Amino acid sequence: MTFKVTVLGNGSAKPTIRRHHAAHALNVHEQFYLMDCGEGTQSRLIQCGINPLKLNAAFISHLHGDHVYGLFPLISSMGLMGRRTPFTVFAPAPLGEVMEYHYKYFDTNLPFAIDFREVDTRKHRCIYENSVMEVWTVPLRHRIPASGYLFREKKPGLNVRREAIERYGLGIAQITAAKRGEELIGPDGTRIPAEEITYTPYTPRSYAYCSDTMYSGKIADIVSGVNLLYHEATFADADRVLARETGHSTALQAAKTAAKAGAGRLLIGHFSSRYKDAAPLVEEARTLFPATEEAEELHTYEIPFIRYR
């Protein structure tokens, strides 16, 4: 069961030859989602072998251009490619209003519906849910309203151990009851607690996308225990005054968030164009949180499937 994220861009406001604007593509059980959509995102999707028509929804963190300018050409291209299924866009206001102008002057005959969902950047709440996953908002601290997103795989239903079925001669009705967590009564009247004969087939996985933000302990609390945390690290700690003035974090502050959250791994990105090499920022973060990596463009990071028995 797939749970992996592909980094399409990890640069900040000013594009460079080596870094593209912010965008991640998440694959959960072969369902695809887009986080932010900076300029050139559609080309990066194709370059990574991800068909834009497979995207179910886009989650936009905020309305700075380096996070949203790629959305409009992506929508146009999906129309040209023959998309007919609705496409959901989650974003802070007033993106819905901006998109209305786009439809009026550019995609006047778009062959599919856009379902725009306004995000309240002040609240932590579930905004999307399907059979395998929930998406929760993560309030960020930036110069304008901004939201991160926490993707959590749902806890799977219980399985009944095969040996228990054979030992107690369980029928279909009893197996179904055990999967609901109910206590069973054996043939001799013995009580059989569900936890003794059932197990969780796998450990639910999680990924958090925290783009432009200053350090916030509340973010760490919300994403506590996350398997993979992406956190912006626009500046080195030597430039922490500039980071605060511009509403951003340093690599060390990103590591502080990961450590406080008890994250499994940390990806850092959104690097300022002043840094030609991200290695010093990664090393800075590793002094506080060793499991830090650069969010390398065109690279896919998979969260392993851990089966329980």
The predicted-structure confidence for 161-206, as pLDDT tens digits, reads as follows 888 788 878 888 888 887 888 888 877 777 888 777 877 777 899 9
Listing from the earlier edge strand, what are the strands of the sheet with 292-294?
126-129, 133-139, 147-153, 206-210, 228-232, 265-269, 292-294
Distance CA(176)–CA(277), nearest Å, equals: 56
pLDDT-based confidence at residue 272 (cuts at 50, 70, 90):
very high
- Looking at the chain, list the stretches that DSSP marks H as alpha helix, in order from N- to C-terminal side: 41-47, 65-68, 71-80, 95-105, 162-168, 172-179, 194-197, 217-222, 240-246, 251-261, 279-286
**Phi and psi for 122 in degrees, rounded to 5?**
-95, -10
pLDDT of residue 61: 98
188 is catalytic: no
pLDDT at position 165? 80
CB contact at 8 A, 34 and 48? no
**pLDDT, tens only, 145-160:** 999 999 999 987 777 8
16 or 242, greater pLDDT: 242
- State which amino acid sits at residue 238: A
More confident residue, 201 or 289: 289
Q: Is the pLDDT of residue 276 over 80?
A: yes
pLDDT of 309 > 60? The answer is no
- Mean pLDDT for the chain? 93
Residues 6+ apart with CB under 8 A from 305: 1, 3, 202, 205
**DSSP states of 222-280 as a string?**
HTTT-SEEEEE--B-GGGHHHHHHHT--BHHHHHHHHHHHT-SEEEEE-B-TT-S-SHH
Helices first, then strands: H and E counts in the chain = 11, 18
The pLDDT value recorded for residue 188 is 74
Q: Are strands 147-153 and 133-139 parallel, antiparallel or unpaired?
A: antiparallel
> Residue 114 CB: number of other CB atoms within 10 A?
17
pLDDT at residue 163, rounded to an integer: 84
Tens digits of residue pLDDT in 37-88: 999 999 999 999 999 999 999 999 999 999 999 999 999 999 999 999 999 9
Q: Which of 36, 66, 107, 212 is catalytic?
A: 66
pLDDT tens sequence across 85-129: 999 999 999 999 999 998 889 988 999 999 999 999 999 999 999
Give the per-residue pLDDT at 308.
Answer: 64
pLDDT for 166 = 80
What is the pTM for the complete model shown? 0.90
Q: How far apart are CA 208 and CA 211, in angstroms?
A: 10
**Residue 301 near residue 7, CB atoms below 8 Å:** yes
Show the CA angle centred on residue 109, arms to residues 105 and 115, nearest 5°. 90
What Rg, from alpha-carbon coordinates, does the chain have? 22
- Coil, strand or helix at 195: helix
